[in-house]
Chain A
C-alpha cells in the first residue's frame, strides 16, 4: 500500500466518522443534562430518510440537513416531554421511539428507495489543503466533516470552559444544587435535550447526503449506528474529546475490515463487517474493568505501590455517568405537597378507624 492510498484511506476514516461524532456529541449534551435519549438509533434513520427526501424534493442540500436536525429535535422533544414533564421512564420512552422511528423511516421512505439524489461535494480548503499529510487528512473534506471537527471543540469548550457548561454539569450531577444556585433545571433539561436531539438528527443526512448518499431502506446499513454511538458516549466518559476518539476508533475498525478483506480471504466478509461492533463493546468493557469485583480482589493482593498505580490508572480510565442521569427532578416544594397529601390520606384513615372502633 502506498503512502498516498493510506492517507486517503485515513482521511476517509475521518469523514465516515463525522456522522457518529454528531450523534455522540448530541447524546453527550443530553445525558450531561440528565436526560437519556435512547431513541437515537431510530432518530438517525428517520433523519437520514427525511433529510434525503427534503433535499431530493427541493434540490437543496442545506434544507435537507435542516430537515434532519428538525426531525432529531422533534423526537428529542417527545423524549423530554415524556421524561421531564410526565416523569415517565426514559428507557421505555426512548426504546419505543427508537423502534417506531426506524420502522417509520422504512415505511415513509419507500418512494425514495434507490433514487439518485444530491450529494455533498468535497471542498478542499485553499492553501491549507496543500500542506503535506495534514492537508490530505484534514483539509480535503466535505463541509459536514469540517463541521464535525468544529463541533468537537465547541462542545468540549462549552462543557468545560464556560459558565453555562459548568451549570450543565451541575444540572446533570446534582440538580438540587443547581436549582439552589438559581438554575431553571426543567427548562435547561429541555433545551439541552432538544439541542442534543438536533445534533443526533444531523447524523442522518450526514449519511444520506454525504458518506452514503441516497436512501436504501433496510439495506442502508444505518441500523445499529445509533446503538454504537450510545456505547461510544459512555466509552467517551461524557467528554466530547474522548467521545470523538471513540467515533474515530470505530470508523477505523470499519475501514480496517474493508482493507483486510482482500487479504484475509478465508475469513467470511460478514465477520469483518460486523467485527467493529463487538470490538467496540470489548473496549468499553476494558475501560470500565475497575468496577469488577475480581479485579478489586486481585488488586488488593498486590503490593501497595503496584496497587496504587493500577487503582489510579483504572480510575483515570473509568468514567462515571452524570449522577442524576435518568432521575426526574422534583423541586422540594412539590415533594412537600405530595407528602402532605399522603399524611392527609393517612389521617383520614385513622379517623375512619377511630369511628369504626367506637361503634
Chain B
C-alpha cells in the first residue's frame, strides 16, 4: 500500500469498480437486464433514468440490499460477493439514501455510532466518535455539530450527516441516490463543492439523478438506463441535455411547456396576514398575505418544511387559522370546513397523493366521484346512481389518459403517475374557480410530469386561479406568472416571473434578501 493509495480519511482507494451483466428479476418485472456499469477513482459517474428504469435496483445490488440473478461485481479487477450492506461497507462502499436513514430522535454522533462496534465494549464511546467526526468534518470541509439532534437539522445538514456517516465507516466509493431532490440551489452548490473535493481526494462517486442540468454540471461520465436496460455510457462533455432526455424517455421531449398569453381576471383567492400552527407545535405560518387572480398561476417556492404544507392546508380548510383571514371570490371563508370550500369550487391536488388524494381501497370510479358523490347525477336521495358513475369514470379515464386495467381497479394498484391523473381528473373536470396544487409532479417521470404541467396550464387558460406549491424550482419557473418565496412561515418576497432567476430565488429561499444580503427573518 503506497501513500498515494490512501484517502484523506485514511482508507485505501477503490481504483475501479465494475458491474458486469447484472440481471435482476422481480416477479413479473425485469428490473435490470444485463446491465454493465463501472466507476473509477477520482470521477463522478452519473446514473440517469426515469422512475422504474432500474437505477435504484442496480445500486441496491451494489450495496448488498438485493441479490442479482446473474452477473458479477469486480472490485479492482477481482470478483467480490456482496450479500449484505455490511459486506459493502467492509469493501469501502457507502450509500447516501434518498430517504435519509437517520433516527430523528437521536443526535448526530449517536446516529454515526449506531451499529458500530464501540471501543468500550458494551458501553457507548460517543465522546471518541464525536472527536473523529470533528476530524473528518475538518478534512472534508463539512460543517456539523455532533451533539445536535437530527430533528433540529435542515435537510441539507442531515445529508451532510449521512456523508459523514459513510466516511466514518471508511467509504471510498459513495453512491448518492437522488441527493439533490430535497435541497435548495445553494445547498446543491455546497453539495457539489463537497463532491468535487472528494473526487479530487480520490473517492469514486456514483450520482443518481433524473435532473439533467445537474448531471451535466457535476458528472464526468453519464450512463442512461431505460426499462432496466442500459441505453449507453458517454463522457458528459460529449452529450447535451437534449440527447440525454431523448435517451431517457425514448422519444423527443420538449422542455419548455407552451404557456400562451392569458389576461388576468378578478382576484379569486386572497390571504390577509394569515397565521397558523404546525404539527410540531411551532408556528406554521406567520402573517402570510397573497392573492391569486383568475388566469394566474402563483408559484410558492421554498425549501421543504417552511410552511408550504400548512399553506395548502389552511386554504383548503384542513387546518385552523389562528389569526388573519382567507377570501374566496371576495367572500370571507376563514376556517370554513373543506366541504363548504368544495361547494365554492375550490379544488385541491394534495402533496401526499396516496394518503390525501385518493382512497387506496376504493376503485378508480369511486375515487373519481369523491367530491360530488352526494349530488346529482351521481346520487339520488340515499342511493348511488351506479350507471352514471360508471359512465363518468369512462369519460374521465378516456379524457385524462389514465392507464388502468378497468375502472374497478383499486387506486392502490395504479402507478404514481396514473394516480395523479385520477386526482387531476376529479379535481379539474369540475371546472374549479381556484386550484391548490401541492407538489403536483413530485416523484413522477418526465412523461407524466409533462402531462400534469400541460393540464395546469390548460386550466390557467380556462381562467382558474392556481396556487402552485412546489419545491422543484424548475417547475415553479416554468409554470408561474408570479413567484412567492416562503421561508419560516413568511413570504420573503413576491417576484414577477420575468425578474426571477434561480440565484435570486435561491437566496430568498435561504432567508436572505439579495439586495441586503442579510438575514431578515430569524
B is a partner of A: yes
Interface residues of A (CB under 8 A from B): 161-167, 169-170, 173-174, 176-178, 180-183, 290-291, 293, 296-297, 300, 311, 314-315, 320, 323, 332-333, 336-337, 339-347, 349-350, 353
Report A-chain residues with C-beta under 8 Å of the C-beta of B124. Answer: 161-163, 165-166
Contact B322 A297 (CB under 8 A): yes
The contact of B114 among A166, A320, A341, A343, by CB within 8 Å, is A166
Contact B105 A173 (CB under 8 A): yes
**Min distance, Cβ A243 to any Cβ of chain B, angstroms:** 17
Contact A170 B85 (CB under 8 A): no
The distance in angstroms between the C-alpha atoms of A164 and B84, with both chains bound, is: 20
Instruction: Name, among A167, A177, A350, the residue most crowded by chain B CB atoms within 10 Å (CB to CB).
Output: A177
Report A-chain residues with C-beta under 8 Å of the C-beta of B85. Answer: 180-182
The distance in angstroms between the C-alpha atoms of A26 and B102, with both chains bound, is: 26
The distance in angstroms between the C-alpha atoms of A165 and B28, with both chains bound, is: 41
For residue B65, which residue of chain A has the nearest CB? Answer: A332
Contact A342 B413 (CB under 8 A): yes
Instruction: Pick the interface stretch among B226-234, B276-284, B422-430.
Output: B276-284
Contact B281 A181 (CB under 8 A): no
**Min distance, Cβ B409 to any Cβ of chain A, angstroms:** 7
Report A-chain residues with C-beta under 8 Å of the C-beta of B105. Answer: 169, 173, 320, 323
Report B-chain residues with C-beta under 8 Å of the C-beta of A177. Answer: 101-103, 111, 114
The contact of B104 among A166, A173, A311, A347, by CB within 8 Å, is A173
A346 and B277 contact, Cβ closer than 8 Å, known pairs A163-B123, A166-B106: no
Contact A166 B29 (CB under 8 A): no
The contact of A333 among B66, B86, B115, B277, by CB within 8 Å, is B66
For residue B101, which residue of chain A has the nearest CB? Answer: A177
List 18 contacting pairs A-B, 8 Å CB cutoff, sorted by A.
A162-B123, A163-B124, A165-B124, A166-B106, A166-B110, A170-B114, A174-B102, A178-B103, A178-B114, A180-B97, A291-B281, A296-B277, A296-B322, A333-B66, A336-B66, A343-B29, A344-B28, A344-B29
B239 on interface, CB distance cutoff 8 Å: no
A300 and B65 contact, Cβ closer than 8 Å, known pairs A174-B101, A174-B102: no
For residue B120, which residue of chain A has the nearest CB? Answer: A163
Contact A169 B103 (CB under 8 A): yes
Contact A182 B320 (CB under 8 A): no
Contact B281 A315 (CB under 8 A): yes
| In the A-B complex, the 10 residue pairs with the closest CB atoms | A181-B115, A344-B28, A349-B405, A340-B26, A340-B27, A177-B101, A296-B277, A173-B103, A180-B101, A174-B103
B122 on interface, CB distance cutoff 8 Å: yes
Contact B118 A341 (CB under 8 A): no
The distance in angstroms between the C-alpha atoms of A344 and B405, with both chains bound, is: 12
The distance in angstroms between the C-alpha atoms of A103 and B114, with both chains bound, is: 43
Contact A167 B114 (CB under 8 A): yes
Instruction: Name, among A165, A315, A346, the residue most crowded by chain B CB atoms within 10 Å (CB to CB).
Output: A346
B113 on interface, CB distance cutoff 8 Å: yes
Task: Tell me which residues from 307 to 363 in chain B have a Cβ below 8 Å from any Cβ of chain A.
Answer: 320, 322-323
Report B-chain residues with C-beta under 8 Å of the C-beta of A345. Answer: 413
The distance in angstroms between the C-alpha atoms of A165 and B29, with both chains bound, is: 40
**Min distance, Cβ A133 to any Cβ of chain B, angstroms:** 33
Report B-chain residues with C-beta under 8 Å of the C-beta of A176. Answer: 101
Report B-chain residues with C-beta under 8 Å of the C-beta of A315. Answer: 281
Report B-chain residues with C-beta under 8 Å of the C-beta of A332. Answer: 60, 65
Task: Tell me which residues from 384 to 420 in chain B have a Cβ below 8 Å from any Cβ of chain A.
Answer: 405-406, 409, 413
B275 on interface, CB distance cutoff 8 Å: yes
The distance in angstroms between the C-alpha atoms of A345 and B414, with both chains bound, is: 11
Taken residue by residue from 272 to 302, chain B's Cβ proximity to chain A (1 for < 8 Å, 0 otherwise) reads as 0001010001110000000000000000000
The distance in angstroms between the C-alpha atoms of A167 and B117, with both chains bound, is: 11
**Min distance, Cβ A180 to any Cβ of chain B, angstroms:** 5
A169 and B115 contact, Cβ closer than 8 Å, known pairs A161-B124, A337-B26, A346-B413: no
Report A-chain residues with C-beta under 8 Å of the C-beta of B113. Answer: 163, 166
For residue A290, which residue of chain B has the nearest CB? Answer: B281
Instruction: Name, among A166, A183, A340, A349, the residue most crowded by chain B CB atoms within 10 Å (CB to CB).
Output: A166
The distance in angstroms between the C-alpha atoms of A290 and B281, with both chains bound, is: 7
The contact of B29 among A162, A178, A340, by CB within 8 Å, is A340
Report B-chain residues with C-beta under 8 Å of the C-beta of A342. Answer: 413
19 additional contacts (CB under 8 A) given A163-B116, A169-B103, A174-B104? A161-B124, A164-B122, A165-B124, A166-B114, A169-B106, A177-B111, A178-B103, A180-B85, A180-B97, A181-B115, A182-B115, A332-B65, A339-B26, A340-B28, A341-B28, A342-B413, A344-B27, A346-B409, A349-B406
**Min distance, Cβ B115 to any Cβ of chain A, angstroms:** 3
**Min distance, Cβ A165 to any Cβ of chain B, angstroms:** 8
Contact B413 A336 (CB under 8 A): no
The distance in angstroms between the C-alpha atoms of A344 and B26, with both chains bound, is: 10
Instruction: Name, among A180, A297, A323, the residue most crowded by chain B CB atoms within 10 Å (CB to CB).
Output: A180
For residue A320, which residue of chain B has the nearest CB? Answer: B105
Report A-chain residues with C-beta under 8 Å of the C-beta of B322. Answer: 296-297, 300
For residue A322, which residue of chain B has the nearest CB? Answer: B105
The distance in angstroms between the C-alpha atoms of A346 and B116, with both chains bound, is: 43
Contact A173 B27 (CB under 8 A): no
Contact B66 A167 (CB under 8 A): no
Report A-chain residues with C-beta under 8 Å of the C-beta of B323. Answer: 300
Contact A293 B277 (CB under 8 A): yes
The contact of A162 among B65, B122, B281, B282, by CB within 8 Å, is B122
Report B-chain residues with C-beta under 8 Å of the C-beta of A162. Answer: 122-124
For residue A343, which residue of chain B has the nearest CB? Answer: B28
The contact of B405 among A164, A173, A291, A346, by CB within 8 Å, is A346
Report A-chain residues with C-beta under 8 Å of the C-beta of B111. Answer: 177
A297 and B277 contact, Cβ closer than 8 Å, known pairs A177-B101, A347-B28: yes
